[in-house]
Structure 1
Amino acid sequence: MNAIPTVTKNLLIINVLVFLATIVAQSYHLDLARYLGLHFFLADDFNVAQLITYMFMHGGFTHLFFNMFAVWMFGRILEQVWGPKRFLSYYMICGIGAGLISMLVTYIRIQAAKTGMSPEMINTVYQEGAQIIRDNMNYTYPPMANLNALLNGVTVGASGAVYAILLGFGMLFPNQPLFIFPLPFPIKAKYFVIGYALIELYAGFANNPNDNVAHFAHLGGMIFGFILIMYWRKKDRGNGYYYN
């Protein structure tokens, strides 16, 4: 791993170690996601530190693998261009930003879910929802179940920061050809990033009840990444490359 820059290498190591710790904890019937995953800010289990810790939690090996593959593939290039301090700042700020955007969208959806529900139903979800999830019970009234899921759901993964990395690569190297399976031809990085953003936007607004992916967290990472890069571009007086 000597060829991998310091921050990228340490991000890979930390994410793998936390994933292994999650597996070990499960053998002792301890759910680390309850403590380290990102809960909605009005939920009983929310802690502000989760805006950082959730980035190092993953829902399974596939989730971890693809996120870390993207960090290795694109993150190391950004770190080599920006340097370790700026790259780490970018990764963390965008990951936190992704969590904030995700909670904002959840708040909006919660307000919409309350429509047509009586105050008694809403209070029941707020007072008992988290305990009901922990006891593996379900509401029989769908609007209450939906509100319960929104209020007590947990977000995990580095995907918000990863999507910011993809955006950063696309902005720094817009015409770099990428071979993306299963496409039989290369696609420029800028079109790759735009395509991913449009897919996430569509999936986010589709709000499929069977889709447990935090699409707006991905978009939130991209939004914060774009703002940071434009700020640095202005600060560095349009150099095209961004140094510490």
Structure 2
Amino acid sequence: MRNNMAYDSFGSAMKRGFMRMPLIIRSIILVNAVVFILQAIGGNTLNSWLIQNLGYDPAFPTFLSQPWRLITYMFLHGSFFHVLFNMLWLWWMGNTVEQTIGPRSFAVVYFSAGILGALFQSALALAFGYNLVIGASGAVTGILVAFAMLFPNAPIMLFLFPPIPARFFVAGWVALDILFIGNGDNVARLVHIGGALAGYLCIKAYKNGNDLSMPIRYFEYLFGKHKPKTGSKPKNKNMHIVSDAEIIEETEQSAIDAILEKISKEGYDALTKEEKKKLFELSKKD
């Protein structure tokens, strides 16, 4: 009886921990885990079929005639450690990023990094080869760059190393990819570099006041999640409520901008408990 209770307690703790992850990170990790299990238990035949039909082929015109590969390749991995470390980096760095910019914006950064990374591979494939690409590394690299831009002074703790500011750690990460391009180690370094570029451009746009969530909101509108109300109706006499909401939204944006500015200058750990709570609450409203 005690063993069953301990097992249930552990299972419940795991479930609670997983459900507390931000929405998009939780979803990405779940899909990657399910796909990798299929790769592992399906044998060589299924694994080869998945890679050959869903992996990214940078050759022309395959990437144009089979555009789904721009997305599906991110969910395939070559080994347990390949998927494990990609998901660990995504969870470690991406957790704060998603809480800061919101789930829709986070999804745009992640998939933009994966897609631009793949296209970058295609653009330079003639010089570096047309190898089939699988893995979430390009998308994850974009998230690493996003984290470094949002929290440049956040300390990165590595075993046997002193704390390294995020901006230096991620810059070194990308520099290694550039340094080892074409060395034949079977790592899609061009995809990493393209992903890093996408992460940089997205967060640059975010800091300039652009709404990164617009592509997601557009698709939600297309699929009817937020249909506009039809039919004419008299002007609402309480329309001033809309103006009040806009004022509140602007005030909240100013508050989060001030917090992000403090993080940029002093690091995440410099925030007070109240500021961390405020940052988390505001980021969930995307």
8 Å contact kept, 2:40–2:47: no
Deviation of residue 74 (structure 1)?
1.1
Match of 1:86 among 85, 96, 105: 105
Q: Which amino acid aligns with 1:162?
A: V
Partner of 1:52: 71
The 5 Å alignment of 1:85-234 reads: 85-109=104-128, 150-151=129-130, 153-183=131-161, 185-204=162-181, 207-209=182-184, 211-234=185-208
Deviation of residue 68 (structure 1)?
0.3
Residue 29 to residue 163, structure 1, CA distance change in 2 (3 Å): closer
Deviation sequence 1:57-112 (CA, Å, 0-9, x none):
10110100100001111111111111111001111111101100011111334xxx
Higher relative CO (Cα under 8 Å, sequence separation at least 6) belongs to: 1
Match of 1:63 among 76, 79, 82: 82
Task: Name the TM-score, length of structure 2 as normaliser.
Answer: 0.65
Residue 43 to residue 229, structure 1, CA distance change in 2 (3 Å): same
Q: Please report the RMSD computed on the Cα atoms of aligned residues, expressed in angstroms.
A: 2.2
Match of 1:21 among 38, 45, 55: 38
Partner of 1:141: none
Deviation of residue 180 (structure 1)?
1.5
Deviation sequence 1:147-184 (CA, Å, 0-9, x none):
xxx34x2100000011111111111111111111342x
Deviation sequence 1:174-214 (CA, Å, 0-9, x none):
1111111342x11111110111111111011xx223x1001
Deviation of residue 30 (structure 1)?
5.0
- For residues 106 and 182 of structure 1, the distance between their equivalents in structure 2, rounded to whole angstroms, comes to 38
Task: Name the TM-score, length of structure 1 as normaliser.
Answer: 0.75
Aligned-pair identity (%): 32
8 Å contact kept, 2:39–2:46: no
Residue 88 to residue 44, structure 1, CA distance change in 2 (3 Å): closer
Partner of 1:116: none
- For residues 233 and 47 of structure 1, the distance between their equivalents in structure 2, rounded to whole angstroms, comes to 34
Count of equivalent residues = 199
- For residues 42 and 158 of structure 1, the distance between their equivalents in structure 2, rounded to whole angstroms, comes to 22
Match of 1:34 among 52, 56, 78: 52
Gaps of 5+ in 2: 1-17, 211-252, 261-281
- For residues 168 and 158 of structure 1, the distance between their equivalents in structure 2, rounded to whole angstroms, comes to 15
Residue 227 to residue 171, structure 1, CA distance change in 2 (3 Å): same
- For residues 16 and 213 of structure 1, the distance between their equivalents in structure 2, rounded to whole angstroms, comes to 21
